[in-house]
Amino acid sequence: MNYKAIVIGTSFGGLEALKIILPGLGKEFPVPVIIVLHIGDHSNDTFINYMNSICPLKVTEAENNEEIKPGHIYFAPPNYHLLIEPDFTFSLSTEEKYNYSRPSIDILFESAAWAYSKNLIGIILSGANSDGAYGLKLIKEFGGMTLVQNPCSATSPTMPRAALKMVLPEYRLKLEDIAVKLVELTNG
Amino acid sequence: MTNGAYNETNADLLNIEMQLLMEAIFLRYGYDFRNYSKAHIRRRVLHHLSMSLIPNVTMLLDRILRDRDFFSNFLDDLSINVTEMFRDPEFYKSLKYNIIPKLKTYAYFKVWHAGCSTGEEVYSIAILLKEEGLLDRCQIYATDFNRKVLETAKEGVYQKSDIEQYDKNYVLSGGSGKLSDYYKSRYGSVIFDKNLSSKVVFADHNLVTDNVFAEVNMILCRNVLIYFEKNLQDRVIGLFYKSLVPGGILCLGTKESIKFSGYENLFEVVDEKQKIYKRKIL
């Protein structure tokens, strides 16, 4: 399968999980990674700078109209929903919170499923609410690949558990096995 | 959130129906959503389908063409009217330090608040201008294409439950008084002082289909352009450029920008982070 994008949703415990996964992707990783991490209304700047210092890929905040490119890791800006357009650019929205969240994982995943259909990998990591479960189900319905962090290895198992209740994912992995699997899946 | 009628096997069908729907709305009612961001519009339309129990977009189109009241409700669903007072307090702070001193040198000035929605930010600007002693010297035009939200804006009545957040924003924005000085509580609502809106003209204006209507000294248009595709964004920035006097100020939302719009060289950056620009005096 020729995967064109990876979307990741996570909240509480997400930063710690991403610190392990993202550096493990290596600098030749061939597909863009797009992430919703619930961090409240605070600016992303600090952890984006930090992620850049530990990742060989370029880590940035997704910008409105920006073309989505391989070799990049994008984070949704705080207090905006992040959507993927059919022409593979980002758009932002200030509409109501969804699942008490803005950015909402479901909204990103839904738009990603429409844009990439079966060429998409969706991932749910540690988190304290059920945002993303519906979106992951949709990714699977569109023929995409789904992966959920094993709740037993998650700082907060609520989000992976909620996802597992709605979707039987192709992979259910321990944190330290996720990066290796992604490299394997995207190398054709 | 998504309608069962659509999945990966008929994604192309939905694209065709969406295009027909946008054309139909434009031809029938003159509202032009054809260059709005596709993912956003699709989401709103599918949401409306599931709420109204209509099975597919073609049947929605049929209803919209024939039922004006139904369309009016649909229109409300298409526009995003989520806003708050002193949203992004740092922006108001920047306005206070970077722009207000210049406005103080004018005997009279005009402000255009484009896409004002239910008016929370109009009252925020009015409060800022009042505290700086400038409210009596200005004329504010607050416009939106949605007449229903303009009515709310005119009334200046908001939910009391939101006031705590607004008050927090107001303090962070550097407000010099107390927010409670500007409103009265009534049951579950608050009503803002009519004096604040005495300098405001609320009017129906559509950024997509209408043109320049006044020459102004400052334009605020925050979190509106994010819903437009790039070409439409560029066109609207052009409309703002033409509406500003030389040296006039343009304020966009913090995730919006004039970068790559073709107008970048015609503006100076006043505050990069808060997206405050000044039309160059050529």
pLDDT tens sequence across B104-148: 999 999 999 999 999 999 999 999 999 999 999 999 999 999 999
Which range marks the domain in which residue A78 is found? 5-186
pLDDT at B54 over 50: yes
- Give the angle A81-B38-B221 at the CA atoms, nearest 5°: 60
Domain count of the fold of chain A: 1
H or E element that contains A35: strand A33-37
Check if CATH label 3.40.50.150 holds for domain B89-279: yes
Are A36 and A127 contacting, i.e. CB atoms less than 8 angstroms apart? no
State mean pLDDT over A116-127.
Answer: 97
Around Cβ A77, how many Cβ atoms within 10 Å? 19
Instruction: With a cut of 60, say whether residue B1 has pLDDT above it.
Output: no
Look at A141 and B37 and tell me if their CB atoms are within 8 Å.
no
Domain ranges within chain B, ordered by starting residue: 8-78, 89-279
Q: What is residue B81's predicted lDDT score, i.e. its pLDDT? A: 82
Whether residue A76 has pLDDT greater than 60: yes
Q: pLDDT tens digits, residue range A47-57?
A: 899 999 999 99
Kindly report the average pLDDT of chain B as a whole number. Answer: 94
- Mean pLDDT value across residues B188-200: 95
A42 given a catalytic annotation: no
How would residue A45 be classed by pLDDT, with cut points 50, 70 and 90? confident
Q: Give the tokens for residue B158.
A: 């908001």
Detail the DSSP E strand segments found in chain B: 109-114, 138-144, 157-159, 183-186, 189-192, 200-204, 216-221, 244-252, 267-271, 276-279
The CATH number linked to A77 is: 3.40.50.180
Residue A149, H or E segment: strand A145-149
Between chains, do B226 and A110 touch, taking CB under 8 Å as contact? no
- Cβ distance A94 to B223 less than 8 Å, yes or no, reads yes
**Helix residue spans in B53-119 (DSSP H):** 57-66, 68-78, 89-94, 100-103
Decide if A156 contacts A12 (C-beta within 8 A).
Answer: yes
Q: How high is the ipTM of this complex?
A: 0.90
- Residue A115 has a pLDDT of 95
d(CA B30, CA A2): 42
**CA-based radius of gyration for chain B:** 20
pLDDT bucket at B8, cuts 50 / 70 / 90: low
Query: What is the per-residue pLDDT for B3?
Result: 54
Among the ranges given (A23-32, B100-109, B254-263), the one the predictor scored with the smallest mean pLDDT: B254-263
Residue B236, H or E segment: helix B230-243
Instruction: For residues A47 and A59, give the distance between their C-alpha atoms in angstroms, rounded to a whole number.
Output: 10
- Dump pLDDT digits (tens) for A136-173: 999 999 999 999 999 999 999 999 999 999 999 999 99
The verdict on whether A72 is a catalytic residue reads no
- B contacts of A85 (beta carbons < 8 Å): 37-39
